[in-house]
């Protein structure tokens, strides 16, 4: 966990929710009231966000006591209790929605990712996330992918050079794009991997003739064409397949021998897992 990032996220999220006070709790519950609550699982899946929840509770009120019963990455089923929290009822209620929003989404992502990972058992292929994340939540969503057994692609624009179709077109072609990317790394001294996206076998041939990249992304290649492309690359570069790949056909793509499969659906359209925080 990157505490600097999580602390900033929690601070902003609390400010967004609380404003000048939780007037419902302030008006209905006497100051100093103590209580307990439990995080109840209502749907099967993979649990994620417990470690983050502990940070949220701690930032809101470091006197709250949390007893963790289930940890991030564990399989869960309806009726399971992930943790209990006790202390100021005002603090518990203030944390409730933020904890649930984060854990429900993170658990949904971890669950979706884990289903894909299980489909890839027996293949060398790893599943990657993308930058198709919720603004402000990227770190949490990519964290959830890791909890589910997936692998993070680049975190942002700063930690890898990924030359996509628009870059190629604006740069004036594949050769120009690759040459200029390598010149940039030499000029700046930055140590970044270079990946380039190709849309067909003709573009792939151009990349193979030039080289000077670390990974090739094969975009919207049907399985038969992907298998042909992998044979052409012949292990000289890492390979990544993307576009049109879903849970039901992911194994078919993995069988082509590709190193990575990237799926935006891990984060951009995931269903949150049903969890509830209830007083007891």
Task: Report the catalytic residues.
Answer: 97, 132, 164, 197, 219
Q: Residue 274 corresponds to which tokens in the numbers above?
A: 């049903």
Of 83, 79, 68, nearest to 37 (Cα)?
83
Distance CA 242, CA 89 (A): 47
Q: Where are the beta strands (DSSP E) in 45-158?
A: 45-46, 65-68, 75-76, 81-88, 126-128
Count of CB atoms within 10 A of residue 186's CB?
Answer: 8
* Rg for the chain, CA atoms, rounded: 23
Long-range Cβ contacts of 268-274 (<8 Å, 24+ apart): 268/130, 268/132, 268/133, 270/105, 270/108, 270/109, 270/112, 271/108, 271/112, 272/104, 272/105, 272/107, 272/108, 273/43, 273/45, 273/103, 273/104, 273/107, 273/108, 273/111, 274/41, 274/42, 274/43, 274/104
């Amino acid at each position: 966990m990157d505490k600097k990032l999580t602390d900033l996220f929690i601070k902003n999220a609390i400010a967004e929710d609380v404003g000048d006070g939780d007037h419902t709790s302030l008006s209905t519950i006497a100051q100093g009231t103590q209580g307990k609550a439990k995080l109840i699982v209502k749907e099967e899946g993979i649990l994620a966000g417990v470690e983050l929840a502990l940070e949220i509770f701690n930032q809101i009120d470091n006197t709250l006591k949390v007893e963790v019963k289930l940890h991030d990455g564990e399989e869960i089923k309806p009726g399971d209790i992930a943790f209990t929290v006790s202390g100021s009822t005002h603090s518990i209620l203030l944390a409730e929605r933020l904890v649930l929003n984060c854990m429900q989404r993170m658990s949904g992502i971890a669950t979706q990712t884990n289903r894909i990972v299980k489909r890839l058992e027996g293949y060398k292929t790893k599943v990657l996330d993308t930058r198709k994340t919720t603004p402000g939540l990227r770190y949490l969503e990519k964290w959830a992918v890791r909890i589910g057994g997936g692998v993070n692609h680049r975190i942002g624009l700063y930690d890898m050079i990924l030359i996509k179709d628009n870059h190629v077109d604006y740069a004036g072609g594949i050769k120009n794009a690759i040459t200029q990317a390598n010149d940039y790394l030499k000029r700046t001294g930055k140590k970044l991997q270079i990946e380039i996206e190709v849309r067909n076998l003709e573009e792939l041939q151009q990349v193979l003739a030039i080289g000077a990249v670390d990974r090739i992304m094969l975009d919207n290649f049907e399985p038969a064409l992907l298998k042909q492309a992998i044979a052409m690359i012949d292990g000289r570069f890492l390979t990544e397949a993307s576009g049109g790949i879903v849970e039901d056909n992911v194994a078919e793509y993995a069988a082509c021998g590709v190193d990575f499969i990237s799926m935006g659906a891990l984060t951009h359209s995931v269903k949150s897992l049903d969890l509830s925080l209830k007083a007891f």
